[in-house]
Homo-oligomer: A and B are copies of this chain.
Amino acid sequence: MPVTELLPIRDVTACCAPLTREAISVEDADAVARSLKALADPARLRIVSIVAAHDDQEACVCDLQEPLGLSQPTVSHHLKVLVESGFLTRSKRGTWAYYRLVPGSLDAVASLLTTV
Contacts and interface: CB of A to CB of B under 8 A. Distances in A.
A82 to B, nearest CB: 12
A20 B101 contact: yes
Contacts of A109: 110, 113
A23 B50 contact: yes
30 contacts: A19-B45, A19-B49, A19-B106, A20-B48, A20-B49, A20-B52, A20-B101, A22-B49, A23-B46, A23-B50, A23-B53, A24-B45, A29-B43, A29-B46, A29-B49, A32-B42, A32-B45, A33-B40, A33-B41, A33-B44, A36-B40, A37-B40, A39-B40, A39-B113, A106-B113, A107-B114, A107-B116, A109-B110, A110-B111, A110-B114
